[in-house]
Amino acid sequence: MDFYYVADALANPTGGFNRGSETWWGRIRGTVDVDFGKFLPDAGLTGHITSVWQYGTNIGGPNYVNSFANPSSLASKHVLRAAEYSLSQYLFHDHIDLRGGKLAAWNTYGTQEYGASFINEPMGYAFNTFANTYMTYDPGGTPAFELRVLPSVHYYAKAMVLSQEKSPYAQDPTGFGFHLGPPVVVAEAGYLHAPPKNTGTLGMEDFLRRSETGKYPGIFKFGGSYNPATFTNQLTGQSSQGNYVIWAQANQALYREPDQDPKENRGLDATFTIDHSPDDVNQQNQQIDAGLRYVGPFRGAHFAKDMLDAGWVRTSNGSLYQRALLLQGKGPHHAENLAEINYLANLAPWLLLQPTVEFIVDPSATPDRGTVVVVGFRTMVTF
C-alpha cells in the first residue's frame, strides 16, 4: 500500500495574466498492489488499484500562464476518482503479462524514466500531443486490455487497446463505470542497456528506479498511437479517417562518480524525446524535450539522492494550423519554448521539497506575449 500527498505552489511574477498570483494544486493518492502469488502458489496473478483526490488552481490555464506546456505535471480537473484498477496475469516465468481493467495509457507509454526529476507536464508526465489520439490519462482511465512481452532482459514490447473517451470525467465521474467507446491502439518497444538484475516483466516499468542496475543504465524506446476515428482538417474543415502520434525516446546515464557507495548512483543522466503527429488534423503536431540531471550534486550521504535538474520543451503548431491563423489575420504562431531549472531535495525519507523556476517563451506560440517566468516549489509527503 502507498499513500502520499503532493502539491505544486507556483506563481508567475513576470508575464502572463493575473501577474504575481500564487496558485496551489494538490493531490492525494492511495494505491494498493496485491501479489496473489503470496497465497495462491504459482498463480502469477497481481492486482492494482489507485485513486486520487485533487484540487486547486491550474497556473497553466487561460487565467494565468495560458501555455501549451503546463508548468505543473499535476494540474488537470478537480476530481475524487478511481484512476486505475486492473488485474495482471504473468506467464512463462514473467516473460508475458496480460493486463486488463481501467487503464491510463499516459502512465506507461512514452513515459520518461527521469520524469520525476521535472515539474513541467511534458517531461514530468506526458506530452500534450498524446491527446491528439485521445490516449487515456490519469486519473481518467478507461477500459483497456494490454499485452506486454519481455523476451530477454534487454528488450520489451507492449501494446494496448483502449476505449476512447473524450470527456471521461463527465462520462464516468467516479471511475467505476465501464463505458466502451471507439478503440484506440497504442504500442511501444524498447531496448534496455545495463538492465536490472533478475528482472521480469515488472522491470519494464521500474527500470532505472532500482539500484540493482548496471553502472551506466539506459533505455531507448520507440512507440506510437493510432485512432481510426474521424478528424477535421485544420485548414479546409474537411473530415478524414485516422490520426496518429509516434515518438522516440532515450534515457541514458552519462557519468558516474568513482568510489561511491554501491547503492548510490551519483552522476549525470540525460533524457531526450521527440514525437510527431500529422499537421492536417492537429494543432500541436510536435513536441521535443531534452534534459540533464545530476544525482548527488553535493558531498555527504544526506545529499546522495538529491538532484539538480535542467530541462527544455519545444511545442510546435502544425503548418496548416499556422496557415489558417494567417488567413484570419493573426500573426505567425510557430512554437512555444519552456526551460526549467529545479533542485530536488530529499529532506527525509517521507518528505521531498523541490524549488523550481521556469521560463516560457512565446506562451501558446503567441510571439507578442514575450516571456513568462514561473517560480515556486513542489512538496511531497509519503505516509
Of 219, 243, 215, 217, nearest in space to 229 by CA: 243
Mean pLDDT taken over the chain: 89
Mean of pLDDT values over 136-158: 91
The confidence band for 209, taking pLDDT boundaries of 50, 70 and 90, is very low
Mean of pLDDT values over 157-164: 96
CATH tag, 2-382: 2.40.160.180
**What residues contact residue 261 under an 8 Å CB cut-off, 6+ apart?**
301, 304
The confidence band for 212, taking pLDDT boundaries of 50, 70 and 90, is low
Give bridge partners of residue 357 from the DSSP assignment.
341, 375
pLDDT in tens, 29-71: 999 999 888 887 767 899 999 999 999 999 999 889 999 999 9
Q: For the residues of 90-145, what is the DSSP string, one character each?
A: EETTTTEEEEEEEE-GGGTSS--TTGGG--SHHHHT--GGGGGGT---TT--EEEE
Residue 370 has pLDDT above 90, yes or no: no
The confidence band for 201, taking pLDDT boundaries of 50, 70 and 90, is very low
In which residue are the cell numbers 506486454 written? 148
Q: Where are the domains of the chain?
A: 2-382
The C-alpha cell at 315 is: 511545442
Quote the percentage of the chain above a pLDDT of 90.
63
275-291 core/surface letters (b: 16 or more CB in 10 A; e: else)? bbbbbbbbbbbbbbbbb
The confidence band for 200, taking pLDDT boundaries of 50, 70 and 90, is very low
The alpha-carbon radius of gyration of the chain (Å, integer) is 21
What pLDDT score does 197 carry? 64
- H/E stretch holding 317 reads strand 307-317
The confidence band for 210, taking pLDDT boundaries of 50, 70 and 90, is very low
Of 67, 186, 210, nearest in space to 130 by CA: 186
Q: Where are the beta strands (DSSP E) in the chain?
A: 2-14, 22-35, 45-56, 79-91, 96-103, 142-152, 155-163, 183-193, 218-232, 239-256, 267-276, 284-295, 307-317, 335-348, 351-361, 371-382
**What residues contact residue 242 under an 8 Å CB cut-off, 6+ apart?**
226, 227, 228, 229, 231
What pLDDT score does 291 carry? 97
What pLDDT score does 211 carry? 46
In which residue are the cell numbers 492494482 written? 48
Mean of pLDDT values over 224-239: 90
What pLDDT score does 49 carry? 96
- The Cα–Cα gap between 285 and 274 comes to 11
What pLDDT score does 147 carry? 95
Residue 287 has pLDDT above 60, yes or no: yes
Residue 248 has pLDDT above 70, yes or no: yes
What pLDDT score does 207 carry? 46
- The Cα–Cα gap between 249 and 50 comes to 27
pLDDT in tens, 289-333: 999 999 999 988 889 899 999 999 999 988 888 888 888 777 778
pTM of the model: 0.90
- Burial (Cβ within 10 Å: 0-12, 13-18, ≥19) of residue 131: middle
In which residue are the cell numbers 532482459 written? 153
Q: Is 223 helix (H, G, I), strand (E, B) or coil?
A: strand
pLDDT in tens, 170-184: 888 898 988 888 999
What pLDDT score does 104 carry? 94
Question: What are the percentages of helix, strand and coil residues in the chain, rounded to 5?
Answer: 10, 50, 40
